[in-house]
Chain A
Amino acid sequence: MPTIKSIDDLKRLREEAQKVKELRDQTGKTQVVVGMGTVGIAAGARETLKAILTFIEDQHLPDIILRQTGNIGLGGQDPVVQVILPGAETVTYGKVTPAMATRIMEEHVVKGIIVQEFRIEA
């Protein structure tokens, strides 16, 4: 542990503590990631994401971390959606239509049951 010599050191410490806290907050929450590369967008990723947003809005789901990522790198499987429950492994779904996204939200995100038929190998 370095000695605190200045106000700047203090600030740095506070920032680090904040980062650790943010990391902890994030790992304790469910994350939903949508692939938004050029191919994903052309394949309908925005509409898939919109279905996820509508579900969160309608069901008043709190504390879900939504993220986008450039290209997940699974050729031909777009739109791709990944669900990461706290402490669980990443589950990847492929060719996710808005209707499929709603079912993934209902079953996997809310009830914790993986929708095996939509699942793909990542």
Chain B
Amino acid sequence: MRELSLHLLDIAENSISAGASRIVISVREDLVADELWLEVSDNGKGMSPEMVEKVLDPFVTSRTTRKVGLGIPLLKQAAEACNGFLTLESEPGKGTKLIAKFQHSHIDRMPLGNLEDTIITLILTTPSVNWVFRYQYNDRVFEFDDMELKEALGNLPLSDFRVIKFLSNTITEGVQEARNITTKEGVVYANH
């Protein structure tokens, strides 16, 4: 995988497979502390401690015995190669939380990539899940909970072209706004 946002998509797929009804994806870029944090938490069926061990180890089991593939070991390796780590907390019946931390400025850190497309893909293709997306850039936060959107839609399907456009604009602008400072005059400065 070439982008961290593709890893997020992959990790979120595990949460869908675990039967989660609510999945929270959060990305935090802290340029002051030079850290990049990724977090995916769900209320799915969860895993036993033994299962967590297996999921983290790429060599113990084959895909026929579990649904989770190589995605997690790959992300773990990527985080560790960038002075970071990956943790997986899980409890059967409660859910799972995955956290990955990277040194933001590390030369080997993959780019975040197209975060917006990852989020839009998840919301549009798995409407049965309540998706929450949280993006933080230094101290500015953009948060999107698709519950409100779904309630407002009523019978209109999520895959309606107008809804796709709205969603796409909302997520893209939200992330961009968090990354930039908008002055009262409406002038946008990059915040680096």
Contact = CB atoms under 8 A, between A and B. Distances in A.
Answer yes or no: do A and B interact. Answer: yes
A115 interface: no
B180 interface: no
A68 B121 contact: yes
* Size bracket of the A interface: 20 to 34
A50 interface: yes
Nearest to A53: B164
A64 B161 CA distance: 9
B171 interface: no
A60 B67 CA distance: 36
A65 B6 contact: no
Contacts of A70: 13, 16-17, 67
B126 A68 contact: yes
A49 B126 CA distance: 13
Given A42-B1, A46-B117, A49-B125, A66 B159 contact: yes
Contacts of A41: 1, 6, 9-10, 13
Given A42-B6, A46-B118, A60 B1 contact: no
Interface in B143-188: 157, 159-161, 164-165, 168
B6 A46 contact: yes
Given A41-B10, A57-B164, 7 more contacts: A38-B71, A41-B9, A42-B6, A46-B121, A53-B124, A62-B160, A65-B157
